[in-house]
Structure 1
C-alpha cells in the first residue's frame, strides 16, 4: 500500500506528521509512506510548486496524503508558480474530479457552531463537488474596452459526460448513507445548470433506491443555515460546491475538524484537511491535526478499502474530543503533538 505524503507549507508538515503517526500506530502490514515537496516548499527547493518527481510519485501511489499549500513569500510570483497551483495541477494530472467534503457536528461541540445548538447538532451531511469543470477551468480573459476600461470574463460550462460522471459519485454516496441526494444548481437562469439538472435526472433512473431532489444554490445556502439537518448528500458543480462546502464547514464550528477527499475514476485519491496552511501559527505546535487525521481515515476507506481501520481512527478522534482533548480552535490548550498522542492512545 503506497501512500505519497506531501506535507506542503505552513502547518502542513505538523499536521501530516501526526496523521502519519496515527497510520503507523495501526500496525498495517505493507504500508509504504514516501514523502515529497509540494507548494511553496517545493518552489523554494526545486523552482516549481509541483516538481516532476512529486508528480511521478503521486502517479505511482495508491493514495496521497496532502497537508496544505500557501506561503506569503510566494504571493508575488507569477500565477503559474504560486503554491496553490500544485493542488490544481494534481487534480488535473491525476484526474481527480470528485471532491467529498463531509460535515458533521461531534457530540458535545454543538456550542461551537454559529447556529443554535439544536440546529447544529443535526448536521451530518456530505457535499460532493465536481472539481475539473465550471468557470475555474473554462476559457477566461481580460480585455481592454475602447474607453480604456477593463472587462474580465470567465466561461461556465459542463458537458453531459462531466455531469454524468459526478452524478454517479453522488448517487453511490447516497446509497451508502440514508438514500437522499439533493442536486444543487441555478437552472432557472443558467443554461449550464439546465444541462446539469437534465443529466442528473437521467442518471437517477439507475438508482431507484435514492430519493432525488433539486434546489437552487441561493436557496441551498439559506437552508444550510436555517435547517442543515435536512441534507444528507449534496451534489453540485465546482463553483457552487466551493462556496457551499466552506459554508457547511463553518456551520459545524471549526475547520480544524473537517477532512476532504478528491477522487479519480479509479481508487486513487488525494486526502487533505480543508483548513489551509495557516502561516500565522506555523511552527508553533498549535495547529489541530484532527482534520488531517480524519483525512487519513478517508484515505483508508476510499482508496485502500480498509473500512474497519478507518472507523477505528474516527472513533478514536470522537473519543478524544469527548474526553476534552481540544486545540485552541475549540477553546482548549492541547497542542499538535499532544492531540496526536491522545488519538494514538485511544486507538
Structure 2
C-alpha cells in the first residue's frame, strides 16, 4: 500500500511506501512487513520502532487487498438471503442462523457478505461477480437452484442450509417432514379432522393464494414441499394456502383467506413458520375467533415473536446450530478437508394455541 502526500515546498505528490518506513526505522523491508503482520520473529523493540516510523510518515500499513492476493483468498464468505435484508433481520430464525454461522467461520477470520435474492447478474455485486471464498445458501429461497448453478460455473465452494443441491455439496438439514408430521399427529390426537396448512412460498414467482397443482409442480423450495408432505402424511386431503413470504403480514393475509368463511373454516391451522402462525392468530382475533377455542394454530421454528400474547405450539428447530454447522463445513472445505452434511432434529413444544375442537 502507498500513501500519497503533498510536499509543502513544491505541492508535488510523494508516495510513502513500506520501504520508506523500513528506511526510517533502520530495518529491512521484510522485517518491516513482519512487524506489521505480527507473524514473524520480530522483537517488541523493533516492532515499536517500525510502527513509530510509520506514524511519523503517515503510513497506515500494507494494503489488505494485496495480502488477499498473496493468499489467494478474499477473506469473504457470502450468504444468500431469500428476501431483502430488512425483512431478513425481522426474522429471528435468520438472525440466529447468522449468529451460528459467524461462530462457525471464526477460525477463518473472514467477514460475511449478504446477498439478497434478486437474481440479477448485472448487479454491481452478485453471485456471478462477487469476490467470495465460499457461499452459504439458504434453501428456503425460491431461486435456490439458479444460485447453485451460478456458483458451480465459478467453481465457488458452497454449503446449503435446507436445500437439496446434490453433486456432493454439503447440506445442513432438519427433519422438516418428520417434524411437521409430529405436529399434525398432535392435532389429530386432540380430535381435529378439518385442518388447513399455510405454507412458505413454493416457486420464484412467490404466488399467493390456494395451492394449485400448477404451483406445486413448479416448486423449487424443498422446505415448503417437505413440510407439506409431513402434514399430508396425517391429513392426506388437507387444503393449503400459500403465503408469499415468511412474515406476520403474509400470515395475516393467509389467515383472513382461510378463516373468513364460517362454512369452510377449519378447526386447526398448521403454519410452516412461527411468523406465519402469528399472522394467522392475528387474523383469527380480527374475526372475533378464539385461539385455541375456535381454531388451533401450530407453527414451526421455536422463536419468540414480538407482540404475540400466546405460548405458541410449534416445532422447535436448532437455528443457531444449523448456522454453526454450515460455518464449520466452510472452514473444512477451505482447508482442503472433506465436509459432510449435518442432519438436525426438531422437537414439539405444546403451548396454549392448540386444544380439542369445540363439540
TM over 0.5: no
Given the two structures, how large is their TM-score scaled by the length of structure 1? 0.31
- Which structure exhibits the higher relative contact order, with contacts defined as CA atoms closer than 8 Å and separated by 6 or more residues? 1
Comparing both structures, which one devotes a greater share of its residues to helix? 1
Answer with 1 or 2: which has the greater Rg.
2
Given the two structures, how large is their TM-score scaled by the length of structure 2? 0.30
